[in-house]
Amino acid sequence: MKNKTGRYSAYIRPFSYVLDLAIINLFAFLFLSDVVFSSYFAVFISLSWIIISLNIGFYEVYRFTKVVAIGNRILKQFALFTIVCFAFLGLYIKDSNARETLEYTVISVIAIACIKIFIYYFLRKYRTLTGGNFRKVVLLGNSKRVAQLASFFEDNPDYGYQLVKTFSSETDKKATIEACYQFVKQEKIDEVYCSLFDLTNPQVDELIDFADNNLKILKFLPDNKEFFARNLKLDYYGYIPILSLRSIPLDDVINQVIKRTFDIVFSLIIIVFVLSWLIPLLAFFIKSESEGPIFFTQMRNGLNYMEFNCYKFRSMRLNNIADIEQVSKNDPRITKIGRFMRKTSIDELPQFFNVFLGEMSVVGPRPHMVSHTEMYALKVDKFMVRHFIKPGITGLAQTNGFRGEVENEQDIIYRVKYDIFYMENWSLLLDLKIVFMTLINAVKGEEKAY
Protein backbone atom coordinates (compact mmCIF):
# COMPACT_ATOMS: atom_id res chain seq x y z
CA MET A 1 0.00 0.00 0.00
CA LYS A 2 1.23 3.50 -0.81
CA ASN A 3 2.72 5.49 2.06
CA LYS A 4 0.56 8.19 3.52
CA THR A 5 2.23 11.58 3.51
CA GLY A 6 1.32 12.74 7.00
CA ARG A 7 -0.63 15.65 8.41
CA TYR A 8 1.58 18.45 7.14
CA SER A 9 3.37 16.72 4.28
CA ALA A 10 0.62 17.75 1.87
CA TYR A 11 1.94 21.32 2.32
CA ILE A 12 5.63 20.51 2.75
CA ARG A 13 6.09 18.76 -0.59
CA PRO A 14 4.51 21.47 -2.81
CA PHE A 15 6.40 24.08 -0.79
CA SER A 16 9.65 22.15 -1.43
CA TYR A 17 8.97 22.06 -5.17
CA VAL A 18 8.29 25.81 -5.32
CA LEU A 19 11.28 26.67 -3.13
CA ASP A 20 13.71 24.47 -5.09
CA LEU A 21 12.52 25.81 -8.44
CA ALA A 22 12.88 29.35 -7.11
CA ILE A 23 16.47 28.60 -6.00
CA ILE A 24 17.65 27.08 -9.29
CA ASN A 25 16.14 29.98 -11.26
CA LEU A 26 17.39 32.68 -8.90
CA PHE A 27 20.91 31.24 -8.88
CA ALA A 28 20.81 30.91 -12.67
CA PHE A 29 19.98 34.62 -12.88
CA LEU A 30 22.73 35.54 -10.37
CA PHE A 31 25.58 33.24 -11.44
CA LEU A 32 25.13 32.67 -15.19
CA SER A 33 26.02 35.19 -17.85
CA ASP A 34 23.40 36.92 -20.00
CA VAL A 35 24.48 34.73 -22.90
CA VAL A 36 23.30 31.64 -21.03
CA PHE A 37 20.36 32.80 -18.91
CA SER A 38 17.11 33.36 -20.75
CA SER A 39 13.42 32.59 -20.35
CA TYR A 40 13.93 29.46 -22.47
CA PHE A 41 16.72 28.28 -20.16
CA ALA A 42 14.55 28.98 -17.08
CA VAL A 43 11.67 26.91 -18.47
CA PHE A 44 14.06 24.13 -19.51
CA ILE A 45 15.80 23.77 -16.13
CA SER A 46 12.48 23.96 -14.26
CA LEU A 47 10.91 21.17 -16.33
CA SER A 48 14.14 19.15 -16.20
CA TRP A 49 14.33 19.47 -12.41
CA ILE A 50 10.75 18.25 -11.99
CA ILE A 51 11.14 15.34 -14.43
CA ILE A 52 14.40 14.19 -12.81
CA SER A 53 12.99 14.46 -9.29
CA LEU A 54 9.90 12.45 -10.22
CA ASN A 55 12.00 9.68 -11.74
CA ILE A 56 14.45 9.28 -8.85
CA GLY A 57 11.95 10.01 -6.05
CA PHE A 58 13.82 13.13 -4.90
CA TYR A 59 10.84 14.34 -2.87
CA GLU A 60 9.78 10.88 -1.67
CA VAL A 61 11.13 11.45 1.83
CA TYR A 62 9.19 9.98 4.72
CA ARG A 63 9.68 10.07 8.47
CA PHE A 64 11.35 6.63 8.34
CA THR A 65 13.65 7.55 5.42
CA LYS A 66 17.34 7.28 6.34
CA VAL A 67 19.69 10.27 5.89
CA VAL A 68 21.92 8.10 3.69
CA ALA A 69 18.99 7.54 1.31
CA ILE A 70 18.33 11.29 1.18
CA GLY A 71 21.99 11.96 0.44
CA ASN A 72 21.95 9.33 -2.30
CA ARG A 73 19.01 11.05 -3.99
CA ILE A 74 20.72 14.43 -3.70
CA LEU A 75 23.80 13.06 -5.49
CA LYS A 76 21.66 11.53 -8.27
CA GLN A 77 19.68 14.77 -8.68
CA PHE A 78 22.90 16.78 -8.86
CA ALA A 79 24.51 14.47 -11.42
CA LEU A 80 21.49 14.34 -13.74
CA PHE A 81 20.70 18.04 -13.39
CA THR A 82 24.30 18.94 -14.25
CA ILE A 83 24.18 16.69 -17.32
CA VAL A 84 20.97 18.24 -18.68
CA CYS A 85 22.30 21.77 -18.09
CA PHE A 86 25.45 20.99 -20.08
CA ALA A 87 23.34 19.29 -22.75
CA PHE A 88 21.22 22.43 -23.20
CA LEU A 89 24.28 24.68 -23.36
CA GLY A 90 26.04 22.35 -25.78
CA LEU A 91 23.09 22.38 -28.16
CA TYR A 92 21.94 26.00 -28.00
CA ILE A 93 24.75 28.17 -26.58
CA LYS A 94 27.97 28.47 -28.54
CA ASP A 95 30.08 30.52 -26.12
CA SER A 96 29.03 28.95 -22.83
CA ASN A 97 31.44 28.73 -19.90
CA ALA A 98 31.70 25.14 -18.57
CA ARG A 99 33.21 26.20 -15.23
CA GLU A 100 30.49 28.79 -14.69
CA THR A 101 27.80 26.18 -15.37
CA LEU A 102 29.34 23.62 -13.03
CA GLU A 103 29.66 26.22 -10.25
CA TYR A 104 25.99 27.10 -10.75
CA THR A 105 24.77 23.49 -10.46
CA VAL A 106 27.02 22.77 -7.46
CA ILE A 107 25.92 25.87 -5.53
CA SER A 108 22.25 25.32 -6.39
CA VAL A 109 22.19 21.68 -5.28
CA ILE A 110 24.21 22.41 -2.11
CA ALA A 111 21.70 25.11 -1.14
CA ILE A 112 18.75 22.82 -1.83
CA ALA A 113 20.42 19.92 0.01
CA CYS A 114 21.03 22.08 3.10
CA ILE A 115 17.39 23.16 3.16
CA LYS A 116 16.19 19.59 2.62
CA ILE A 117 18.31 18.20 5.46
CA PHE A 118 17.30 21.11 7.70
CA ILE A 119 13.59 20.42 7.14
CA TYR A 120 14.14 16.71 7.79
CA TYR A 121 15.85 17.29 11.15
CA PHE A 122 13.57 20.19 12.06
CA LEU A 123 10.51 17.94 11.71
CA ARG A 124 12.16 15.25 13.84
CA LYS A 125 12.94 17.80 16.56
CA TYR A 126 9.48 19.32 16.24
CA ARG A 127 7.85 15.93 16.78
CA THR A 128 9.98 15.26 19.86
CA LEU A 129 9.41 18.64 21.52
CA THR A 130 5.76 19.33 20.65
CA GLY A 131 4.26 15.97 19.73
CA GLY A 132 3.11 17.50 16.46
CA ASN A 133 3.17 15.89 13.02
CA PHE A 134 2.66 12.45 14.59
CA ARG A 135 0.69 9.40 13.52
CA LYS A 136 -1.40 7.35 15.91
CA VAL A 137 -0.69 3.64 15.51
CA VAL A 138 -1.85 0.34 16.97
CA LEU A 139 -0.19 -3.07 16.93
CA LEU A 140 -1.99 -6.36 16.34
CA GLY A 141 -0.39 -9.71 17.09
CA ASN A 142 1.36 -11.85 19.65
CA SER A 143 2.82 -9.48 22.25
CA LYS A 144 6.27 -11.10 22.03
CA ARG A 145 6.39 -10.76 18.25
CA VAL A 146 5.42 -7.07 18.18
CA ALA A 147 7.45 -6.12 21.26
CA GLN A 148 10.49 -4.97 19.26
CA LEU A 149 8.38 -2.62 17.11
CA ALA A 150 6.58 -1.32 20.21
CA SER A 151 9.96 -0.51 21.79
CA PHE A 152 11.06 1.23 18.59
CA PHE A 153 8.02 3.52 18.62
CA GLU A 154 8.49 4.34 22.30
CA ASP A 155 12.26 4.91 22.05
CA ASN A 156 12.15 7.03 18.85
CA PRO A 157 9.54 9.78 19.25
CA ASP A 158 11.37 11.84 16.60
CA TYR A 159 9.97 9.48 13.95
CA GLY A 160 6.52 10.80 14.79
CA TYR A 161 4.69 7.56 15.65
CA GLN A 162 2.49 7.48 18.76
CA LEU A 163 1.75 3.93 19.87
CA VAL A 164 -1.77 4.08 21.30
CA LYS A 165 -2.52 0.42 22.00
CA THR A 166 -1.33 -3.14 21.39
CA PHE A 167 -3.94 -5.82 20.65
CA SER A 168 -2.64 -9.22 21.71
CA SER A 169 -3.85 -12.15 19.61
CA GLU A 170 -2.89 -14.76 22.18
CA THR A 171 -6.50 -15.37 23.35
CA ASP A 172 -9.63 -15.04 21.16
CA LYS A 173 -8.12 -13.94 17.86
CA LYS A 174 -11.42 -13.18 16.11
CA ALA A 175 -12.72 -11.08 19.01
CA THR A 176 -9.36 -9.28 19.25
CA ILE A 177 -9.44 -8.32 15.58
CA GLU A 178 -13.04 -7.03 15.90
CA ALA A 179 -12.03 -4.98 18.95
CA CYS A 180 -9.11 -3.58 16.96
CA TYR A 181 -11.48 -2.51 14.16
CA GLN A 182 -13.74 -0.64 16.58
CA PHE A 183 -10.84 1.02 18.37
CA VAL A 184 -9.21 2.16 15.12
CA LYS A 185 -12.45 3.82 13.97
CA GLN A 186 -13.34 5.39 17.32
CA GLU A 187 -9.87 6.75 18.15
CA LYS A 188 -9.09 7.85 14.57
CA ILE A 189 -5.97 5.69 14.34
CA ASP A 190 -3.75 6.42 11.33
CA GLU A 191 -1.82 3.15 10.90
CA VAL A 192 -2.27 -0.49 11.87
CA TYR A 193 0.73 -2.84 12.16
CA CYS A 194 0.02 -6.58 12.15
CA SER A 195 2.17 -9.66 12.69
CA LEU A 196 1.71 -11.93 9.66
CA PHE A 197 2.68 -14.97 11.69
CA ASP A 198 -0.48 -14.61 13.81
CA LEU A 199 -2.97 -14.23 10.93
CA THR A 200 -4.58 -16.63 8.50
CA ASN A 201 -4.92 -15.72 4.82
CA PRO A 202 -8.66 -14.89 5.18
CA GLN A 203 -7.88 -12.63 8.16
CA VAL A 204 -5.19 -10.84 6.15
CA ASP A 205 -7.68 -10.27 3.31
CA GLU A 206 -10.24 -9.02 5.82
CA LEU A 207 -7.74 -6.57 7.32
CA ILE A 208 -6.83 -5.25 3.89
CA ASP A 209 -10.51 -4.68 3.08
CA PHE A 210 -11.05 -2.91 6.40
CA ALA A 211 -8.04 -0.62 5.86
CA ASP A 212 -9.06 0.21 2.29
CA ASN A 213 -12.68 0.91 3.20
CA ASN A 214 -11.74 3.10 6.18
CA LEU A 215 -8.78 4.90 4.62
CA LYS A 216 -6.28 3.50 7.10
CA ILE A 217 -2.65 2.58 6.46
CA LEU A 218 -2.01 -1.14 6.97
CA LYS A 219 1.49 -2.57 7.36
CA PHE A 220 2.70 -6.06 8.16
CA LEU A 221 5.53 -7.48 10.24
CA PRO A 222 6.94 -10.59 8.53
CA ASP A 223 7.16 -13.94 10.26
CA ASN A 224 9.92 -13.72 12.87
CA LYS A 225 11.54 -16.80 11.34
CA GLU A 226 11.82 -14.80 8.13
CA PHE A 227 13.77 -11.94 9.69
CA PHE A 228 15.64 -11.17 6.45
CA ALA A 229 14.20 -8.12 4.70
CA ARG A 230 12.38 -8.91 1.48
CA ASN A 231 13.31 -6.38 -1.18
CA LEU A 232 10.64 -7.64 -3.58
CA LYS A 233 10.56 -6.41 -7.15
CA LEU A 234 7.48 -6.39 -9.37
CA ASP A 235 7.91 -6.86 -13.12
CA TYR A 236 5.46 -7.49 -15.90
CA TYR A 237 5.79 -10.13 -18.64
CA GLY A 238 3.31 -8.60 -21.03
CA TYR A 239 0.37 -8.08 -18.68
CA ILE A 240 1.35 -10.86 -16.28
CA PRO A 241 2.75 -9.63 -12.91
CA ILE A 242 5.93 -11.43 -11.85
CA LEU A 243 7.32 -10.96 -8.33
CA SER A 244 11.09 -11.37 -7.90
CA LEU A 245 12.39 -12.44 -4.49
CA ARG A 246 14.83 -9.57 -4.20
CA SER A 247 16.23 -6.64 -6.14
CA ILE A 248 20.02 -6.19 -5.95
CA PRO A 249 21.20 -2.68 -6.94
CA LEU A 250 24.63 -4.02 -7.90
CA ASP A 251 23.05 -6.10 -10.66
CA ASP A 252 22.70 -2.79 -12.52
CA VAL A 253 25.67 -2.18 -14.84
CA ILE A 254 25.88 1.54 -13.96
CA ASN A 255 26.06 0.74 -10.24
CA GLN A 256 28.72 -1.89 -10.93
CA VAL A 257 30.82 0.71 -12.78
CA ILE A 258 30.38 3.23 -9.94
CA LYS A 259 31.38 0.70 -7.26
CA ARG A 260 34.31 -0.67 -9.28
CA THR A 261 35.59 2.86 -9.97
CA PHE A 262 35.40 3.65 -6.26
CA ASP A 263 37.23 0.40 -5.44
CA ILE A 264 40.05 1.06 -7.92
CA VAL A 265 40.57 4.69 -6.86
CA PHE A 266 40.40 3.93 -3.12
CA SER A 267 42.67 0.87 -3.33
CA LEU A 268 45.26 2.73 -5.42
CA ILE A 269 45.36 5.54 -2.86
CA ILE A 270 45.99 3.05 -0.03
CA ILE A 271 48.54 1.01 -2.03
CA VAL A 272 50.55 4.04 -3.21
CA PHE A 273 50.38 6.30 -0.17
CA VAL A 274 50.14 3.83 2.72
CA LEU A 275 51.30 0.31 1.84
CA SER A 276 54.34 1.56 -0.12
CA TRP A 277 56.06 2.56 3.14
CA LEU A 278 54.09 0.43 5.63
CA ILE A 279 55.04 -2.95 4.11
CA PRO A 280 58.84 -2.53 4.65
CA LEU A 281 58.24 -1.16 8.14
CA LEU A 282 55.96 -3.98 9.26
CA ALA A 283 58.14 -6.55 7.50
CA PHE A 284 60.98 -5.63 9.86
CA PHE A 285 58.85 -6.13 13.02
CA ILE A 286 57.11 -9.28 11.77
CA LYS A 287 60.40 -10.93 10.79
CA SER A 288 62.21 -9.86 13.95
CA GLU A 289 59.59 -11.47 16.21
CA SER A 290 58.90 -14.77 14.42
CA GLU A 291 60.00 -16.81 11.46
CA GLY A 292 57.86 -17.05 8.37
CA PRO A 293 56.54 -14.91 5.49
CA ILE A 294 55.39 -11.29 5.82
CA PHE A 295 52.01 -12.01 4.31
CA PHE A 296 49.49 -14.65 5.32
CA THR A 297 47.52 -16.08 2.40
CA GLN A 298 44.29 -17.96 2.90
CA MET A 299 41.68 -19.37 0.50
CA ARG A 300 38.29 -17.70 0.90
CA ASN A 301 34.99 -17.70 -0.97
CA GLY A 302 34.04 -14.65 -2.98
CA LEU A 303 31.58 -13.64 -5.70
CA ASN A 304 29.46 -16.57 -6.89
CA TYR A 305 31.21 -18.79 -4.32
CA MET A 306 34.49 -18.68 -6.29
CA GLU A 307 37.64 -19.25 -4.22
CA PHE A 308 40.47 -16.70 -4.15
CA ASN A 309 43.66 -16.03 -2.18
CA CYS A 310 42.93 -13.44 0.53
CA TYR A 311 46.00 -11.49 1.71
CA LYS A 312 46.79 -10.28 5.25
CA PHE A 313 49.87 -9.25 7.20
CA ARG A 314 50.92 -12.31 9.20
CA SER A 315 49.89 -11.73 12.80
CA MET A 316 50.45 -15.24 14.18
CA ARG A 317 53.32 -17.64 14.58
CA LEU A 318 53.33 -20.40 11.99
CA ASN A 319 50.85 -23.12 12.96
CA ASN A 320 48.99 -26.02 11.33
CA ILE A 321 45.45 -24.94 12.29
CA ALA A 322 45.36 -21.43 10.83
CA ASP A 323 42.98 -22.55 8.07
CA ILE A 324 40.68 -24.39 10.45
CA GLU A 325 40.43 -22.60 13.76
CA GLN A 326 39.41 -18.95 14.20
CA VAL A 327 41.43 -16.61 16.38
CA SER A 328 40.02 -16.29 19.90
CA LYS A 329 40.64 -13.84 22.71
CA ASN A 330 44.14 -14.12 24.20
CA ASP A 331 45.08 -16.62 21.50
CA PRO A 332 48.69 -17.76 22.19
CA ARG A 333 49.39 -17.98 18.45
CA ILE A 334 49.25 -14.18 18.06
CA THR A 335 52.56 -12.28 18.18
CA LYS A 336 53.07 -8.92 19.93
CA ILE A 337 53.14 -6.96 16.66
CA GLY A 338 50.28 -9.16 15.48
CA ARG A 339 48.16 -8.14 18.45
CA PHE A 340 48.71 -4.47 17.62
CA MET A 341 47.91 -5.03 13.94
CA ARG A 342 44.71 -6.91 14.70
CA LYS A 343 43.60 -4.34 17.28
CA THR A 344 43.95 -1.54 14.73
CA SER A 345 42.88 -3.71 11.74
CA ILE A 346 46.19 -2.93 10.01
CA ASP A 347 46.59 -6.64 9.26
CA GLU A 348 43.69 -6.36 6.76
CA LEU A 349 45.35 -3.66 4.61
CA PRO A 350 46.99 -6.06 2.08
CA GLN A 351 43.46 -6.94 0.99
CA PHE A 352 43.50 -3.70 -0.99
CA PHE A 353 45.58 -5.72 -3.48
CA ASN A 354 42.60 -8.11 -3.68
CA VAL A 355 40.36 -5.10 -4.26
CA PHE A 356 42.59 -3.73 -7.02
CA LEU A 357 42.64 -7.16 -8.70
CA GLY A 358 38.84 -7.27 -8.62
CA GLU A 359 38.55 -10.23 -6.21
CA MET A 360 37.16 -8.10 -3.39
CA SER A 361 35.50 -4.75 -2.81
CA VAL A 362 36.33 -2.08 -0.23
CA VAL A 363 32.87 -2.64 1.31
CA GLY A 364 30.91 -5.87 1.26
CA PRO A 365 30.22 -9.04 3.26
CA ARG A 366 33.39 -10.28 4.96
CA PRO A 367 34.71 -13.48 3.34
CA HIS A 368 35.07 -16.57 5.51
CA MET A 369 37.68 -19.30 5.24
CA VAL A 370 36.45 -22.13 3.00
CA SER A 371 35.94 -24.65 5.81
CA HIS A 372 33.76 -22.20 7.75
CA THR A 373 31.78 -21.20 4.67
CA GLU A 374 30.84 -24.84 4.10
CA MET A 375 29.87 -25.23 7.76
CA TYR A 376 27.74 -22.07 7.94
CA ALA A 377 26.06 -22.84 4.61
CA LEU A 378 24.60 -25.98 6.19
CA LYS A 379 23.67 -24.40 9.53
CA VAL A 380 22.59 -20.80 8.77
CA ASP A 381 19.59 -20.03 6.60
CA LYS A 382 20.38 -17.76 3.60
CA PHE A 383 24.10 -17.70 4.37
CA MET A 384 24.92 -18.31 0.69
CA VAL A 385 22.99 -15.19 -0.40
CA ARG A 386 26.05 -13.17 0.67
CA HIS A 387 27.93 -14.51 -2.35
CA PHE A 388 25.74 -12.65 -4.86
CA ILE A 389 28.17 -9.73 -4.52
CA LYS A 390 31.92 -9.37 -3.95
CA PRO A 391 33.22 -9.72 -0.39
CA GLY A 392 34.63 -6.63 1.30
CA ILE A 393 37.45 -5.52 3.56
CA THR A 394 34.81 -4.03 5.83
CA GLY A 395 31.04 -4.23 5.90
CA LEU A 396 27.80 -3.16 7.51
CA ALA A 397 27.90 -6.09 9.94
CA GLN A 398 31.42 -5.18 11.09
CA THR A 399 30.47 -1.56 11.83
CA ASN A 400 27.51 -2.80 13.91
CA GLY A 401 29.55 -4.94 16.27
CA PHE A 402 29.58 -8.27 14.42
CA ARG A 403 33.24 -8.62 13.48
CA GLY A 404 35.93 -11.07 14.44
CA GLU A 405 35.29 -14.38 16.15
CA VAL A 406 31.87 -16.00 15.84
CA GLU A 407 31.22 -16.80 19.50
CA ASN A 408 27.66 -18.11 19.14
CA GLU A 409 24.96 -18.79 16.54
CA GLN A 410 23.42 -15.33 16.95
CA ASP A 411 26.69 -13.70 15.82
CA ILE A 412 26.61 -15.35 12.41
CA ILE A 413 22.82 -14.99 12.03
CA TYR A 414 22.98 -11.23 12.56
CA ARG A 415 26.09 -10.95 10.41
CA VAL A 416 24.15 -12.53 7.55
CA LYS A 417 21.17 -10.29 8.28
CA TYR A 418 23.27 -7.12 7.95
CA ASP A 419 25.03 -8.44 4.84
CA ILE A 420 21.73 -9.12 3.08
CA PHE A 421 20.41 -5.69 4.07
CA TYR A 422 23.55 -4.09 2.61
CA MET A 423 23.26 -6.12 -0.58
CA GLU A 424 19.62 -5.10 -1.10
CA ASN A 425 20.13 -1.44 -0.17
CA TRP A 426 23.54 -0.64 -1.64
CA SER A 427 24.47 2.93 -2.52
CA LEU A 428 27.76 4.77 -2.85
CA LEU A 429 26.84 6.91 0.14
CA LEU A 430 26.25 3.80 2.23
CA ASP A 431 29.74 2.59 1.25
CA LEU A 432 31.24 5.93 2.28
CA LYS A 433 29.38 5.84 5.59
CA ILE A 434 30.66 2.31 6.32
CA VAL A 435 34.25 3.31 5.45
CA PHE A 436 33.96 6.33 7.76
CA MET A 437 32.53 4.23 10.62
CA THR A 438 35.29 1.66 10.12
CA LEU A 439 37.96 4.35 10.51
CA ILE A 440 36.25 5.68 13.65
CA ASN A 441 36.05 2.16 15.15
CA ALA A 442 39.72 1.50 14.30
CA VAL A 443 40.79 4.65 16.15
CA LYS A 444 38.50 3.99 19.14
CA GLY A 445 39.32 0.28 19.26
CA GLU A 446 36.74 -2.50 19.30
CA GLU A 447 35.99 -5.14 21.91
CA LYS A 448 36.23 -8.00 19.39
CA ALA A 449 39.35 -6.68 17.65
CA TYR A 450 41.76 -9.44 18.69
Please report the pLDDT score of residue 1 as a whole number.
36
3-state secondary structure the chain: CCCCCCCCHHHHHHHHHHHHHHHHHHHHHHHCCCCCCCHHHHHHHHHHHHHHHHHHCCCCCCCCCCHHHHHHHHHHHHHHHHHHHHHHHHHHCCCCCHHHHHHHHHHHHHHHHHHHHHHHHHHHHHHHHHCCCCEEEEEECCCCCCHHHHHHHHHCHHHCEEEEEEECCCCCHHHHHHHHHHHHHHCCCCEEEEEHHHCCHHHHHHHHHHHHHCCCEEEEECCCCCCCCCCCEEEEECCEEEEECCCCHHHCHHHHHHHHHHHHHHHHHHHHHHHHHHHHHHHHHHHHHCCCCCEEEEEEECHHHCEEEEEEECCECCCCCCCCCCCCCCCCCECHHHHHHHHHCHHHCCHHHHHHCCCCEEECCCCCEHHHHHHHHHHCCCHHHHHHCCCEEECHHHHCCCCCCCCCHHHHHHHHHHHHHHHHCCCHHHHHHHHHHHHHHHHHCCCCCC
Reported residue count of the chain is: 450
Give the Cα separation of 182 and 188 in Å (integer).
10
CA 385 from centre of chain: 17
- Evaluate whether 167 touches 179 at the Cβ level (below 8 Å): yes
Domain 135-226 superfamily per CATH:
Nitrogenase molybdenum iron protein domain (3.40.50.1980)
Please report the pLDDT score of residue 307 as a whole number.
93
Rg (C-alpha) for the chain, rounded Å, is 26
Q: Can you give the pTM of this predicted structure?
A: 0.64
- Please compute, for residue 24, the number of CA atoms within 13 A of its CA located in the half-sphere on the CB side: 27
Give the Cα separation of 369 and 204 in Å (integer).
44
Residue type, 278: L
Domain regions of the chain by residue span: 9-130, 135-226, 251-444
Please report the pLDDT score of residue 269 as a whole number.
96
Please report the pLDDT score of residue 142 as a whole number.
81
- Evaluate whether 41 touches 73 at the Cβ level (below 8 Å): no
Give the Cα separation of 375 and 368 in Å (integer).
10
- Evaluate whether 197 touches 143 at the Cβ level (below 8 Å): no
Rounded (10°) CA dihedral 209, 214, 215, 216:
-80
pLDDT tens, position by position, 290-328: 888 999 999 999 998 899 999 999 998 888 777 667 776
Please report the pLDDT score of residue 4 as a whole number.
40
Give the Cα separation of 151 and 147 in Å (integer).
6
Extract the residue ranges of the chain whose pLDDT is less than 70: 1-10, 95-96, 131-132, 222-246, 323-324, 328, 404-407, 446-450
Please report the pLDDT score of residue 381 as a whole number.
80
- Evaluate whether 245 touches 232 at the Cβ level (below 8 Å): yes
Please report the pLDDT score of residue 6 as a whole number.
45
